[in-house]
């Protein structure tokens, strides 16, 4: 029996979507627009990062303004391993990035989750800024100029990530797996408890749930997933820089989540796609594309505060 | 020798801190009274600087430009409040963050559309462009002294406004207990709009002061906005006294950090490494300062409630 | 909307492009990706490069090497991150034949990888990092400007010749800044009292000026391009240090853009460059006159480099008779550099960086009462760079 806290996978939507996504390289190749396979990879990577933010924000109700820091942790893990240890294997670097992100998120969460409201926002921002300035100061890893990667990670099994299409399939596979895992998690006890905490923390505390521990667990997992997205992002551009950690990047992630729909399973994918495609398409017509983005965002905040997908839900759902 | 270095750095820190205070004062009032996080505050600083630069260039006088720019920015602040920001007061913090972030993006592009991507020149008035001899053998830029003067004057004016006027009394009441203040008959709408105009004017003053020292360019508000938020969290949200103390603390830590840390590091590593580590460590110190203050006093140095 | 949807139009254009690319004859146009800093304090530099490049194309009737030229201009926002993505787009989606324009060396080093990997020629109109002159040299990189150390080497020699004893050094903390002070120290034999690097984004030099005052230096050498230099010089004059210390700079910190913003306080400042607008040759006279007529201002050395980059490309494309697919031929033609540079005689060294003369300039009032640079004398003749021996590139 499904409850209000459940999020259906909707195979009627999921399967055609997966098929369409899988066909992107083929379609792009046929049109001679191979460049757009790279764009699609970026959309999926950011959708992954946005999904992790959605976990804590949409389902957990925690407004984290430093999420870009976790993405940066993952990206720098890959970069530093490649430079210091010569590690090119994705099987080593990417799980390490995942773990590093989780550890950093756990530390940040331990301190921040003791606070509430605007102080939580400021502390998460502060941690992200501290990490940003740290990476700027480390000239050994490029500092402000960034760290170019000599090549993308290696997966073996006959897959060459240097090929944009292969890289896209790997990113799609990772995204799909994480997406499914999140779906299972949200419909299980953990997900229900998390959403309950979002709705009314005091009540959950009173019932006997260890609220702090649930929030910390969600925060840690979100950080780990964001770091995995960061590892993929580093590979996508073959470049890591402190710019990935700036607070404006955290802001952009928040924008993606809200555009797509806070607390919706498919929200992050919709939001990331809308955001990056707006950028890609508009930038060809005008350098002032961020004005359009700002206008859309403001409209969403004022008119559809729960994101675009909530408009669909409003139409279909009962009262 | 070292004494003059310390004195000069102290003055620089004071100057930076006072400008930060101008921004933080408006921000803390809006946050304290209206409970609104306003990320577009830095955009008012930027727009103020641009308007002052344009008016100064058009009229040929820095002073006319300053006056006209401040007035124009206050008007823009009022327009912004009446049309958009008013709708965000009742909303949750996330909506406010995102809504004002949207305004930040639009403001950046609007400025770029009107003035172009290149920075706009703004020079200090010729009378203030040279040095002033403070001590024998030590000259300090007249313009920076002027900024310090303006900052102190504004601080005094705000103090008088908040403690000696009716409006100020309503502001203090609203900061400590909003519902009670409303119940007691404070004119909410008018007060909020006036506060916003004041905040915008303060931003413009800071923009006009700092424009000749830094650069009047798109996005100039963003780095200083984050520092302003740190200041009001340290000082206590809603408290002007806290904003002043917090701003001075941050100004001094930042300036001292940028001078002392590279000197210390210079002995341990080469000049290049010290030069990258220096400013970064100084910036990290500010956030550590904020965390330390929050740990010891969770609602800031001068909590209002 | 009346236009067909973007993907459909892209498909049509792409199909047409595919058909054209399949031929091995002369292409029907030459595409140049001009990625430069068009916003922020460094914007004046990028705008000058772009304007001069466009002037060269216009003087040629909209063509380069006989082919219609399509210039795709983009802003790198002085961010290595953003620039890399834009370069990727230009190379993979727009399929440009040449790239040019980057001002800052940190951006250049980030952009290098996608450009060289795609075998697209990069003709630098400014950035000349030591890395690309030495160990990381690449057959697809040509510097139509200089190698980063050069102007500073000439300045070091000047400071030495003019008797400076104790110098305070200041440069931004990025590859070109390090190249700058390394170059200065290579030729200045006096005492270095202070060596400071500031973040590229820093505009307030109060702390650095305090330290300079405390160091007791008698001269100051700065490398602060564009808006950074403007701010520093204004603040330097504001503290009164300009009375006690002589200011030296490379051409970057003393050209028309800085002079326009600062004005009188700069009179008498010595600086060094491989070009000045009063150099006496036919190409330069025409360039300066046309630039002034077109844009209403005197060109900076950045403009001269952008102009030369365009004319180098023009000569090379003409040499291969428009067959842009012939990469070997293009490279040979580029190396030959058979064009009239505004600097006078121009040739490349073995690492594809220029071997040229460097002049001492001083800021004075000219016959029309304008504050501008005047060439004093050459400092170095036929000067290469210090990194050529480290470059192991196939000939």
The CATH number that applies at residue C245 is: 3.40.50.2300
Nearest to A264 by CA among A6, A3, A1, A36: A6
Nearest to B98 by CA among A195, A302, A122, A290: A302
What residues in A contact C175, CB-CB < 8 Å? Answer: 145
Question: Worst-scoring range by mean pLDDT, A186-195, B272-281, C141-150?
Answer: B272-281
Q: Are residues C184 and C265 in the same domain?
A: yes
The terminus-to-terminus CA distance of chain C in angstroms comes to 54
What residues in A contact C199, CB-CB < 8 Å? Answer: 136, 144
pLDDT digits (tens, 9 = 90+) for B201-210: 999 999 999 9
Domain contains B250: yes
Domain contains A146: yes
Higher pLDDT among residues B166 and C233, named by residue: C233
CB pairs under 8 A between B and C: 98
Q: Which residue range(s) make up the domain with C291?
A: 29-147+279-355
Q: Which residue range(s) make up the domain with B55?
A: 2-296
What's the mean pLDDT in A222-239?
95
Q: Are residues C227 and C103 in the same domain?
A: no
Question: Worst-scoring range by mean pLDDT, A65-79, B284-298, C6-20, C175-189?
Answer: C6-20
A228, A229, A235, A238: CA torsion to nearest 10: -120
What's the mean pLDDT in A45-65?
93
A2/B236 Cα distance (integer angstroms):
46
Q: Are residues C284 and C273 in the same domain?
A: no
Domain contains C8: no
CA quadruple A31, A35, A36, A40: dihedral sign: positive
Nearest to A13 by CA among A218, A319, A316: A316
Q: What angle do CA B131, B132, B136 make, to 5 degrees?
A: 115
pLDDT of residue B55: 95
Question: Worst-scoring range by mean pLDDT, A196-200, C1-5, C137-141?
Answer: C1-5
B55/B59 Cα distance (integer angstroms):
6
- What is the gyration radius of the CA atoms in chain C, in angstroms? 21
> Would you give the DSSP letter of residue A66?
-
Give the chain C residue whose CA is nearest to the CA of B256: C207
Domain contains B173: yes
pLDDT above 90: residue C349 = yes
pLDDT above 70: residue B114 = yes
Q: Are residues C137 and C49 in the same domain?
A: yes
What's the mean pLDDT in C37-59?
94
Q: Are strands C67-75 and C63-64 parallel, antiparallel or unpaired?
A: antiparallel
pLDDT of residue C245: 92
- Asked whether the beta carbons of A68 and A250 are under 8 A apart, the reply is yes
- Asked whether the beta carbons of B270 and B246 are under 8 A apart, the reply is no
- Asked whether the beta carbons of C92 and C31 are under 8 A apart, the reply is no
pLDDT above 70: residue C134 = yes
Q: HSE, CB side, 13 Å, CA atoms: give it for residue A65.
A: 24
The terminus-to-terminus CA distance of chain A in angstroms comes to 19
Nearest to B232 by CA among B213, B249, B209: B249
| E strands, A214-283, in order | 239-240
Q: With cut-offs at 50, 70 and 90, classify the pLDDT of residue B250.
A: very high
- Count the Cβ atoms, other than its own, within 10 Å of residue C151: 29
**Non-local CB neighbours of C214 within 8 Å, separated by 6+ positions:** B1, B2, B4, B5
pLDDT of residue A315: 47
Question: Worst-scoring range by mean pLDDT, A1-5, C122-126, C152-156?
Answer: A1-5
pLDDT of residue A306: 67
Structure tokens at B184: 């007691």
The runs of H, that is alpha helices, within chain C are 6-21, 43-59, 80-92, 105-117, 130-133, 150-161, 175-187, 206-215, 227-239, 256-262, 282-295, 301-319, 327-336
Q: With cut-offs at 50, 70 and 90, classify the pLDDT of residue C130.
A: very high
pLDDT above 70: residue A4 = no
B177/B198 Cα distance (integer angstroms):
21
Domain contains A137: yes
Q: HSE, CB side, 13 Å, CA atoms: give it for residue A214.
A: 24
Domain contains B212: yes
> CA separation (Å) from B93 to A49, A116, B12, C297?
22, 12, 35, 50
The number of domains in chain B is 1
The number of domains in chain A is 1
Domain contains B234: yes
Domain contains A280: no
- Asked whether the beta carbons of C274 and C353 are under 8 A apart, the reply is no
- Asked whether the beta carbons of A77 and B107 are under 8 A apart, the reply is no
pLDDT above 80: residue B182 = no
> CA separation (Å) from A202 to A197, A206, A210, A212?
8, 6, 11, 11
Window 172-211 of A, Cβ < 8 Å to C: none
Query: Hey, is the C-beta of A143 within 8 angstroms of any chain C C-beta?
Result: yes
> Would you give the DSSP letter of residue C246?
E
Q: Is B244 exposed, middle or buried (0-12, 13-18, 19+ CB in 10 A)?
A: buried
Q: Are residues C89 and C107 in the same domain?
A: yes
CATH number of the domain enclosing B274:
1.10.3470
For chain B, give the percent of residues with pLDDT over 90: 46
Window 153-172 of B, Cβ < 8 Å to A: none
Q: With cut-offs at 50, 70 and 90, classify the pLDDT of residue A108.
A: very high
pLDDT above 60: residue C17 = no
Domain contains C81: yes
> CA separation (Å) from C355 to A252, B246, C147, C313?
47, 56, 9, 18
Domain contains A4: no
Q: Are residues C289 and C257 in the same domain?
A: no
Q: Are residues C84 and C123 in the same domain?
A: yes
Q: Is A84 exposed, middle or buried (0-12, 13-18, 19+ CB in 10 A)?
A: exposed
Q: Do A145 and C85 touch (CB under 8 A)?
A: no
C111/C45 Cα distance (integer angstroms):
18
- Count the Cβ atoms, other than its own, within 10 Å of residue A139: 18
Q: Are residues C108 and C193 in the same domain?
A: no
pLDDT of residue B259: 79
Query: Hey, is the C-beta of C345 within 8 angstroms of any chain B C-beta?
Result: no
The terminus-to-terminus CA distance of chain B in angstroms comes to 46
The runs of H, that is alpha helices, within A116-208 are 117-137, 164-186, 189-199, 201-207
pLDDT above 80: residue C26 = no
Q: Do A144 and C11 touch (CB under 8 A)?
A: no
> Would you give the DSSP letter of residue C31?
E
Q: Are residues C99 and C200 in the same domain?
A: no
Nearest to B258 among C47, C207, C213 (CB): C207
What's the mean pLDDT in A120-129?
92
What's the mean pLDDT in C52-74?
95
**Non-local CB neighbours of B123 within 8 Å, separated by 6+ positions:** B62, B129, B212, C234
Domain contains C23: no
Structure tokens at C379: 């400092």
Structure tokens at A308: 């675009």
Higher pLDDT among residues C242 and A49, named by residue: A49
pLDDT above 60: residue B96 = yes
Q: With cut-offs at 50, 70 and 90, classify the pLDDT of residue A313.
A: low
pLDDT digits (tens, 9 = 90+) for A133-158: 999 888 888 888 899 998 899 888 88
> CA separation (Å) from C180 to A90, C129, C176, C183?
39, 10, 6, 5
Nearest to B106 among A122, A127, A294 (CB): A294
pLDDT above 90: residue B22 = yes
pLDDT digits (tens, 9 = 90+) for A161-209: 888 899 999 999 999 999 999 999 998 999 999 988 888 888 998 998 8
- Asked whether the beta carbons of C127 and C107 are under 8 A apart, the reply is yes
Q: Are residues C288 and C159 in the same domain?
A: no
- Asked whether the beta carbons of B150 and B209 are under 8 A apart, the reply is yes
pLDDT above 70: residue B101 = yes
C227/B189 Cα distance (integer angstroms):
43
Q: Which residue range(s) make up the domain with A77?
A: 11-246
pLDDT of residue B262: 77
pLDDT digits (tens, 9 = 90+) for C75-90: 998 999 889 989 999 9
Window 77-136 of B, Cβ < 8 Å to A: 84, 87-88, 91, 93-95, 97-99, 101-106, 108-110, 112-113, 117
- Asked whether the beta carbons of C309 and C317 are under 8 A apart, the reply is no
> CA separation (Å) from A166 to A90, A93, A162, A233, C371?
14, 18, 8, 15, 59
pLDDT of residue C19: 42
Domain contains A20: yes
Q: What angle do CA C328, C331, C337 make, to 5 degrees?
A: 145
Question: Worst-scoring range by mean pLDDT, A99-103, A170-174, C21-25, C166-170?
Answer: C21-25
The number of domains in chain C is 2
> CA separation (Å) from B278 to A145, B147, B253, C26?
16, 26, 12, 55
Domain contains C392: no
**Chain mean pLDDT for chain B:** 88
Query: Hey, is the C-beta of A35 within 8 angstroms of any chain C C-beta?
Result: yes
**Nearest-neighbour CA in chain B from A119: distance (Å):** 8
pLDDT digits (tens, 9 = 90+) for C313-337: 999 999 999 899 999 999 999 999 9
What's the mean pLDDT in C25-34?
87
A279/A271 Cα distance (integer angstroms):
12
pLDDT of residue C358: 95
pLDDT digits (tens, 9 = 90+) for C273-320: 999 999 999 999 999 999 999 999 999 999 999 999 999 999 999 999
CA quadruple C51, C52, C55, C56: dihedral sign: negative
What residues in A contact B298, CB-CB < 8 Å? Answer: 115, 119
Q: Do A254 and B288 touch (CB under 8 A)?
A: no
**Nearest-neighbour CA in chain C from A31: distance (Å):** 5
**Non-local CB neighbours of B184 within 8 Å, separated by 6+ positions:** B173
């Amino acid at each position: 029996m499904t409850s209000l806290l459940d999020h259906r996978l909707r195979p009627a939507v999921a399967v055609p979507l997966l098929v369409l996504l899988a066909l992107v390289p083929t379609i792009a190749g046929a049109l001679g627009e191979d460049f757009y396979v790279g764009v699609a990879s970026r959309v999926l990577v950011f959708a992954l990062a946005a999904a992790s933010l959605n976990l804590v924000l949409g389902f957990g109700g925690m407004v984290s303004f430093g999420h870009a820091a976790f993405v940066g942790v993952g990206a720098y893990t890959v970069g530093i391993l490649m430079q210091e240890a010569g590690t090119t294997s994705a099987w080593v670097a990417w799980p390490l990035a995942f773990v590093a992100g989780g550890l950093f998120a756990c530390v940040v969460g331990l301190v921040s989750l003791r606070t509430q409201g605007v102080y939580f926002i400021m502390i998460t921002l502060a941690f992200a800024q501290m990490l940003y300035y740290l990476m700027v100061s480390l000239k050994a890893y490029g500092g402000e100029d960034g760290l170019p990667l000599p090549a993308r990670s290696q997966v073996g099994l006959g897959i060459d990530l240097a090929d944009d299409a292969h890289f896209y399939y790997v990113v799609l596979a990772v995204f799909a797996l994480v997406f499914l895992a999140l779906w299972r998690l949200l419909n299980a006890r953990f997900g229900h408890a998390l959403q309950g905490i979002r709705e009314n923390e005091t009540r959950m505390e009173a019932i006997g749930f260890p609220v702090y521990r649930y929030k910390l667990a969600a925060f840690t997992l979100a950080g780990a997933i964001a770091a995995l997205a960061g590892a993929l992002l580093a590979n996508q551009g073959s470049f890591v820089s402190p710019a990935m950690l700036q607070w404006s990047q955290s802001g952009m992630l928040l924008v993606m989540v809200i555009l797509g729909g806070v607390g919706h399973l498919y929200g992050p994918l919709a939001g990331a796609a809308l955001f990056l495609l707006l950028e890609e398409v508009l930038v060809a017509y005008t350098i002032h594309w961020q004005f359009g983005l700002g206008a859309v965002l403001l409209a969403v905040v004022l008119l559809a505060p729960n994101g675009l997908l909530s408009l669909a839900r409003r139409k279909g759902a009962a009262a | 020798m070292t004494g003059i270095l310390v004195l000069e750095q102290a003055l620089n820190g004071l100057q930076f801190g006072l400008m930060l205070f101008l921004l933080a004062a408006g921000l803390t009032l809006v946050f304290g009274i209206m409970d609104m996080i306003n990320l577009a505050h830095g955009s008012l600083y930027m727009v103020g600087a641009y308007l002052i630069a344009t008016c100064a260039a058009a009229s040929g006088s820095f002073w006319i430009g300053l006056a006209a720019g401040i007035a124009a920015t206050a008007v823009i602040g009022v327009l912004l409040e009446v049309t958009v920001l008013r709708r965000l007061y009742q909303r949750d913090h996330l909506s406010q963050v995102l809504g004002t972030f949207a305004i930040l993006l639009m403001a950046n592009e609007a400025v770029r559309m009107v003035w172009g991507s290149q920075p706009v020149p703004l020079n200090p008035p010729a009378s203030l462009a040279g040095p002033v001899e403070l001590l024998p053998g030590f000259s300090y830029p007249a313009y920076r002294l002027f900024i310090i003067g303006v900052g102190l004057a504004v601080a005094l004016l705000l103090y008088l406004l908040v403690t000696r006027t009716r409006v100020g009394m309503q502001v203090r009441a609203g900061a400590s207990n909003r519902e009670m203040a409303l119940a007691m008959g404070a004119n909410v709408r008018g007060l909020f709009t006036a506060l916003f105009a004041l905040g915008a004017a303060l931003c413009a003053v800071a923009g006009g002061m700092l424009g000749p020292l830094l650069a009047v360019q798109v996005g100039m508000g963003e780095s200083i906005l984050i520092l302003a938020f740190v200041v009001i969290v340290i000082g206590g949200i809603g408290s002007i006294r806290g904003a002043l103390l917090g701003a001075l603390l941050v100004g001094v830590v930042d300036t001292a950090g940028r001078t002392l840390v590279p000197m210390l590091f210079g002995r341990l590593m080469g000049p290049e490494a010290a030069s990258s580590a220096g400013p970064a460590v100084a910036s990290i110190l500010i956030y550590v300062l904020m965390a330390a203050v929050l740990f010891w006093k969770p609602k800031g140095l001068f909590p209002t409630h | 909307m009346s236009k067909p949807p973007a993907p459909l139009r892209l498909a049509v254009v792409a199909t047409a492009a595919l058909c054209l690319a399949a031929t091995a004859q002369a292409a029907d146009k030459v595409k140049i990706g001009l990625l430069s800093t068009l916003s922020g304090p460094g914007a004046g530099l990028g705008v000058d490069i772009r304007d001069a490049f466009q002037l060269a194309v216009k003087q040629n009737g909209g063509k380069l090497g006989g082919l219609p030229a399509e210039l795709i201009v983009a802003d790198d926002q002085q961010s290595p991150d953003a620039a890399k993505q834009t370069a990727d787009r230009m190379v993979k989606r727009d399929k440009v034949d040449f790239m040019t324009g980057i001002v800052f060396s940190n951006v250049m080093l980030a952009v290098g990888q996608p450009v060289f990997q795609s075998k697209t020629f990069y003709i630098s109109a400014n950035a000349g990092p030591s890395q690309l002159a030495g160990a990381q040299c690449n057959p697809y990189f040509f510097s139509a400007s200089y190698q980063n150390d050069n102007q500073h080497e000439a300045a070091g020699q000047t400071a030495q010749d003019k008797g400076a004893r104790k110098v305070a050094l200041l440069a931004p903390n990025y590859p070109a800044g390090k190249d700058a002070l390394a170059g200065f120290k290579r030729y200045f034999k006096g005492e270095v009292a202070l060596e400071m690097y500031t973040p590229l984004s820093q505009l307030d030099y109060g702390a650095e000026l305090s330290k300079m005052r405390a160091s007791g230096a008698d001269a100051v050498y700065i490398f602060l391009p564009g808006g950074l230099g403007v701010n520093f010089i204004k603040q330097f004059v504001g503290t009164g240090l300009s009375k006690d210390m002589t200011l030296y700079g490379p051409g970057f910190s003393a050209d028309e853009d800085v002079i326009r913003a600062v004005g009188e306080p700069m009179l008498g400042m010595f600086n060094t460059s491989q070009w000045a607008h009063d150099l006496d040759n036919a190409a330069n006279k025409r360039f300066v006159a046309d630039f002034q007529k077109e844009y209403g201002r005197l060109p900076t050395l950045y403009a001269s480099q952008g102009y030369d980059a365009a004319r180098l490309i023009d000569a090379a494309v003409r040499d291969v008779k428009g067959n842009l697919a012939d990469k070997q031929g293009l490279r040979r033609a580029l190396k030959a550099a058979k064009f009239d540079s505004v600097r006078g005689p121009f040739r490349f060294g073995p690492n594809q960086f220029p071997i040229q003369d460097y002049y001492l300039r001083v800021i004075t009032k000219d016959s029309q009462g304008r504050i501008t640079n005047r060439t004093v004398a050459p400092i170095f003749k036929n000067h290469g760079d210090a990194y050529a021996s480290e470059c192991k590139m196939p000939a």
